[in-house]
């Protein structure tokens, strides 16, 4: 999915003239209404004729196409790079209440502070998800998250943000979403970091869990999930699984180093080889000696702690 190139400016910053980047496009030039979606959302054009989506409570009240917008009423300005994203935003904003949009903006702002730069298309995907999650909850039709237990263990930071998102939604929109939704929100945040689509992230999670289970039972370990070595192992597995599923190969480098790791960490190396065999049988992906070596190094670290 192409990225959304947009920035945002809150009303307070518009009034004071201070610019704050938090994911959306800031525009200080007068804009004219090109299309009215509802009282709170319009399509507008800037002085270069570029189409933008503008939000603000009562922004289009008693306005017509061609009228200039009142900058004091503007709360958000979206400037997508492509016509496709303009249409998607137009459709999204036409369906979703402004309070849901601003609530999701708060969640994304919080996630960006904690996780760093995220895909800007997250604004569309997460807002769309949260809107339908709220609708399902109001109708008594929640969805079970079969990966919830794994998400809690593998993506603790993202899951914590998912829990905070539930609290933000409850406080601002008066809707109590189930814990399963914290898991779904966490997956959207993982997706925004990995630059992958959601189904692939779920596949990544599944591969990670398979490897963790193989290591646990092969070496008779009890993981210390709060330890640095475990967290490093999980981080390594996240990107390893992504590379594996996208068929990105890490070429063999220093053969002498492979031999040294194999000789010094025989149990971890044997375990890594069994993982390689499992992945070859289940995913038709053959690991290089370099990939086996890195797996063995991480396995050795958690093995020492587990015993």
Q: In 3D, which of 85, 57, 80, 86 has the Cα closest to residue 70?
A: 57
pLDDT classification of 276: cutoffs 50, 70, 90: very high
Q: What is the pLDDT of residue 1?
A: 37
Q: What is the pLDDT of residue 200?
A: 77
**Please, is 294 exposed, middle or buried when counting C-beta atoms within 10 Å of its C-beta (0-12, 13-18, 19+)?**
middle
Q: What is the pLDDT of residue 306?
A: 66
Domain edges within the chain: 11-80, 98-195, 204-306
pLDDT classification of 300: cutoffs 50, 70, 90: very high
User: 9-23, 78-92, 121-135, 280-294: which range is least confident on average?
Assistant: 9-23
DSSP for 77-135, written as a single string: EE--SSHHHHHHHHHHHHHS-HHHHHHHHHHHHHHHHHH----TTHHHHHHHHHHHHHH
| Mean per-residue pLDDT, 74-103 | 76
List phi, psi (to 5°) of 203: -65, -40
pLDDT beyond 50 at 23: no
Distances (CA, A) of 268 to 66, 187, 257: 69, 30, 15
Distance between alpha carbon 66 and the CA centroid of its chain, in Å? 38
Question: Between these two residues, 282 and 149, which has the higher pLDDT value?
Answer: 282
To the question of domain 11-80 being in CATH 2.30.24.10, the answer is yes
**Please, is 93 exposed, middle or buried when counting C-beta atoms within 10 Å of its C-beta (0-12, 13-18, 19+)?**
buried
Determine if residue 100 is left, alpha or beta; phi over 0 gives left, psi from -120 to 50 gives alpha, anything else beta.
alpha
Domains 98-195 and 204-306 share a fold: yes
Let me know how long the chain is: 307
Question: Between these two residues, 83 and 61, which has the higher pLDDT value?
Answer: 61
pLDDT classification of 153: cutoffs 50, 70, 90: confident
Domain 204-306: CATH superfamily, name plus number = PRD domain (1.10.1790.10)
| Mean per-residue pLDDT, 294-301 | 91
At 36-72, the pLDDT tens digits run: 888 878 888 777 777 787 878 888 888 889 888 888 8
The dihedral of CA 188, 193, 197, 198: what is its sign?
A: negative
Task: Please tell me the pTM assigned to this model.
Answer: 0.63
Please check whether residue 131 is in contact with residue 96, taking contact to mean a CB–CB distance below 8 angstroms.
yes
pLDDT classification of 2: cutoffs 50, 70, 90: very low
Q: What is the pLDDT of residue 168?
A: 98
Please list the residues that pair with 32 across neighbouring strands: 45, 68
Token pair for 194: 């990995």
Domain 98-195: CATH superfamily, name plus number = PRD domain (1.10.1790.10)
């Amino acid at each position: 999915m192409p990225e959304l190139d947009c920035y945002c400016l809150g009303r307070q910053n518009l009034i004071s003239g201070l610019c704050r980047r938090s994911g959306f496009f800031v525009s200080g030039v007068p804009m004219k209404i090109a299309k009215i979606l509802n009282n709170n959302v319009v399509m507008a054009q800037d002085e270069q004729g570029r189409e933008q989506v503008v939000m603000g409570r009562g922004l289009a009240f008693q306005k017509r196409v061609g009228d200039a917008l009142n900058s004091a009423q503007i709360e958000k300005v979206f400037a997508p790079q492509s016509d496709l994203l303009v249409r998607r935003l137009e459709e999204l904003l036409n369906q979703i209440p402004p309070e849901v949009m601003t609530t999701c903006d708060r969640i994304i702002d919080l996630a960006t502070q904690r996780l760093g730069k995220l895909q800007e298309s997250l604004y569309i995907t997460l807002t769309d998800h949260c809107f339908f999650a709220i609708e399902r909850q109001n109708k008594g039709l929640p969805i079970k998250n079969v990966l919830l237990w794994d998400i809690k263990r593998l993506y603790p930071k993202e899951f914590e943000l998912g829990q905070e998102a539930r609290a933000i939604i409850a406080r601002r929109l008066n809707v109590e979403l189930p814990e399963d939704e914290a898991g779904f929100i966490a997956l959207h945040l993982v997706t925004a970091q990995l630059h992958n689509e959601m189904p692939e992230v779920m596949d990544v999670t599944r591969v990670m869990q398979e490897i963790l289970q193989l290591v646990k039972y092969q070496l008779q370990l009890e993981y210390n999930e709060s330890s640095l070595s475990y967290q490093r192992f999980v981080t390594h597995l996240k990107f390893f699984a992504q590379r594996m599923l996208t068929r990105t190969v890490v070429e063999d480098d220093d053969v002498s180093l492979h031999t040294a790791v194999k000789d010094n960490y025989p149990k971890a190396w044997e375990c890594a080889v069994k993982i390689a065999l499992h992945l070859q049988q289940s995913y038709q992906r053959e690991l290089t000696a370099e990939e086996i070596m890195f797996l063995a190094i991480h396995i050795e670290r958690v093995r020492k702690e587990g015993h």
